[in-house]
Chains A and B, each alone.
Chain A
Amino acid sequence: MSEKRTGDWPQVRLHVVTGKGGTGKSTVAAALALALATRGKNVLLCEVEGRQGIARMFDVDPLPPEERRLTTGLPAEDGTPGVVHALHIDPESALLEYLSLYYKLGRAGRALDRFGVIEFATTIAPGVRDVLLTGKLFEAVERNSRNKGAIHYDAVVLDAPPTGRIVQFLNVSNELAGLAKVGPIKAQSDTMMTLFRSPRTAVHLVTVLEEMPVQETSDGIAELRAVHLPVGGVVVNLIRPQDLAADDLADARSGSIDRDRVTADLTVAGMRHERAIVDGLLAEARDHAERRALEDSQRTLVADLGVPTYELPRLPQGVDLGALYELAASLREQGMA
């Protein structure tokens, strides 16, 4: 590789983005894919939960269960972008593809579908479903000359299941053990584990600075380590604005901000400065300071996790396509990509 800047994860080909529900996994996965897609690189953004979150975020039609070009990545300083592709992996088509690929089960594959076996295999045996999903992922990462004409990806980013399910999801061979002790699916899951446990994979965790998500992140890291899955970074999302200096925050909490100074400043700035307005600003400051103090205590806990951390601001207007590029730029600046 010839680039000057490769980011903190130069060896990683598979970026798995997990985290507590609603903390911003999908958003971060999308931003990370944009950030990685630079200088002509091809990046694949995958989702596995059947929610069409990628289509919604990028404002495109619902994705079919096959790869397609999504958008241009965030350009490098010299202006050259890469390409982000998207793949919505769903268990049923993964199983059919798997059957036709490895067992030449054209007719029987369809028969399986007709008899509800696909539904069966993908619902009752979650291990089987996970193997199918991760199998497709594995194929995209390990794709080589055997698969002619297919795009070779420089990186694959997975919008993964939440922290509570991630170990089960990636630790496929273990999960299968109870159901399929032998047979080809077992052998295959063992090969996949080799990739997932290698330094070419990183499992990143998204959190917000609140008690439950931080606790879950910490538990998640411990669980991942226990089964030798490589922990990547922690992305702290939805950070509140940092507009007040530490001593001002302390004053805001104790209610000792100098009102006269604020009133005088408002006058200078040509603003209305009646009592109610100053009261309002001070009350907001107090509330904000209280939340910031809680955030800071959680931030200490995150720092103690001993993994690289990245922070993303809470965007007051929500996340549209432009905002995804903004978040991508921020991740790149912080060295995540």
Chain B
Amino acid sequence: MTKARTRVGPSGAASTPGTLPLTLDVDALIDDPSTRIIVCCGSGGVGKTTTSAALGLRAAERGRKVVVLTIDPARRLAQAMGIEALDNTPRPVADVDHAAGGTLDAMMLDMKRTFDEVVESQASPEKAKQILENPFYIALSSSFAGTQEYMAMEKLGQIHAQSGEDGTYDLIVVDTPPSRSALDFLDAPERLSSFLDGRFIRLMLAPARGPARLMTAGLGIITNALTRILGGQVLGDLQTFVAALDTVFGGFRQRAQKTYALLQHEGTAFLVVAAPEPDALREAAYFVERLSEDRMPLAGLIVNRASPAPSGDLSADESMTAAERLRREDPTSLTAGLLRLHADQMRMVEREARLRGRFATTHPQVATAVVPALAGDVHDLAGLRRVGLLLAGGRTQNNA
């Protein structure tokens, strides 16, 4: 049996009997100096960006030297953190409490620019120019599914290497792109490099020498078909692109592999963020399983935007019955309205607890933190502090 610590207090109140998930101790994680990288993963819209910013702020105010690499903060959140300018460089966040000796820098990833920089660093200036202007490169670097993930990893690798040299940061918190599946973050870099390394690409690069004759015959059919569908100029652009990219390609694959290894390192902690919804929790489950297959260190699950648990123990059915009784007497009864709201809230809380219970039963080893939904969006440092506090289980900083 695992030691299951239950949390007392509002967010722990609603767990299903029988399944007591381990509680994720967020403060222990961010205070541990051996935690060097935290990656927040999860499916779209669940709160990855919010969570990473909140964790970064909390860690900084507890004394760590933190940089947060965000991907797509909401406009007002970006403003509050002073990172609307896409310059691909971490900037200090204003109004952070430095009393504990920590610092907070943040940046918003500029995917295309990161890609351009990689190309520029790998190729000669003329070659780089040729690549950067090619329409296929432009498509690839701005909208290929997976480029954003690849570039997030690339940037993480860069910042990590740099802070290893000059010690600017001792904790990097990484947000991940808004893909539909959390797995994309792990799969995309491989997808991109295997694409660049793919059969077709190699074929287009292969000179039509002897043994390749059969292949070349096949290629004839293909180029013919492509020309008919797309027009001849497309194929020309494509060949130029492929040939140019080949020179920088080895570098790409190597870099991706290095970053991947970094993620497997024990100083890395993955946090899987999910909403208390079936789809999001299913994604979270896939992701958790995948992390263990790939021997990547999972720190825990964050169930974000949970319905706040009501305080009393009035059941939904009890409340509905009473509400109907009151409505019969007085159709506008305030108390009936209050009871119906309570019943609605109870049903949501029960459903979410059931969903979490199901996850806990199948993944008992995953420590979990539950963050209730705030009434409004989180778009300033005060909101991030509140989310940070809730992440840490609602304890205040003094008794932590």
A contacts, CB < 8 Å to B: 20-22, 49, 51, 99, 103, 105, 107-109, 111-112, 114-117, 119-121, 123-128, 168, 178-186, 210-212, 215, 241, 243-245, 248, 257, 261-262, 265-266, 268-272, 276-277, 279-285, 287-288, 290-291, 294, 316-318
Contact = CB atoms under 8 A, between A and B. Distances in A.
A156 to B, nearest CB: 23
A276 B312 contact: yes
Contacts of B200: 115-117, 119-120
A243 B75 CA distance: 33
Contacts of A181: 231, 233
Contacts of B329: 268
A182 B219 contact: no
A284 B342 contact: yes
B229 A183 contact: yes
B377 A318 contact: no
Dominant SS among interface residues on chain B: helix
A183 B342 contact: no
Given A124-B144, A126-B144, A244-B334, A182 B341 contact: no
A281 B338 contact: yes
B225 A261 contact: no
Contacts, number: 194
A212 to B, nearest CB: 5
B178 A285 contact: no
Nearest to A271: B322
Nearest to A269: B322
B31 interface: no
B375 A287 contact: yes
Given A22-B44, A179-B135, A265-B335, A112 B143 contact: no
Interface stretch (B96-104, B343-351, B390-398): B343-351
Contacts of A183: 227-231, 234
Interface in B301-347: 308, 310-312, 314, 318, 322-323, 325-326, 329, 332-342, 344-345, 347
Interface string B197-209: 0111101000000
Dominant SS among interface residues on chain A: helix
A294 B228 contact: no
29 contacts: A22-B44, A22-B46, A108-B221, A111-B222, A115-B222, A117-B226, A119-B198, A179-B136, A179-B234, A182-B233, A183-B228, A185-B229, A185-B230, A186-B231, A211-B376, A211-B379, A215-B75, A241-B341, A243-B344, A244-B337, A244-B338, A245-B332, A266-B335, A280-B314, A281-B335, A291-B376, A316-B344, A317-B351, A318-B351
Contact of B199 (A116, A126, A261): A116
A248 B139 contact: no
Contacts of A184: 228-229
A102 to B, nearest CB: 8
B45 interface: yes
A-B pairs with the 8 shortest C-beta distances? A183-B231, A265-B335, A280-B312, A22-B45, A316-B347, A243-B337, A269-B322, A116-B200
B140 interface: yes
A243 B339 CA distance: 9
Contact of B344 (A119, A210, A241): A241
Given A185-B229, A244-B338, A316-B348, 4 more contacts: A115-B199, A120-B200, A180-B230, A244-B341
B139 A211 contact: no
A124 B136 contact: yes
A317 B347 contact: yes
Nearest to B218: A111
Nearest to A105: B225
Contacts of A115: 199-200, 203, 218-219, 222
A21 B347 contact: no
B278 interface: yes
A294 B376 contact: yes
Contact of B195 (A108, A124, A186): A124
Nearest to B278: A318
B334 A125 contact: no
A140 B350 CA distance: 42
B334 A283 contact: no
Contacts of A185: 229-230
A186 to B, nearest CB: 7
Contacts of B161: none
B225 A51 contact: no
Contacts of B333: 265
A189 B230 CA distance: 12
Contacts of B75: 215
Contacts of A103: 225, 228-229
A120 B198 contact: yes
A180 B311 contact: no
A282 B325 CA distance: 20
Nearest to B324: A269
A70 B305 CA distance: 33
Contacts of A270: 322, 325
Contacts of A257: 334
B314 to A, nearest CB: 6
Contact of A212 (B44, B74, B234, B322): B74
A105 B222 CA distance: 10
A212 B231 contact: no
B135 A243 contact: no
A262 B180 CA distance: 46
B152 to A, nearest CB: 17
Contact of B180 (A51, A271, A290): A51
B138 interface: yes
B133 to A, nearest CB: 12
B195 A119 contact: yes
Contacts of B143: 126, 168
A317 B234 CA distance: 52
Contacts of B344: 241, 243, 316
Given A125-B136, A257-B334, A287 B198 contact: no
A115 B334 CA distance: 69
B351 A316 contact: yes
A124 B75 CA distance: 29
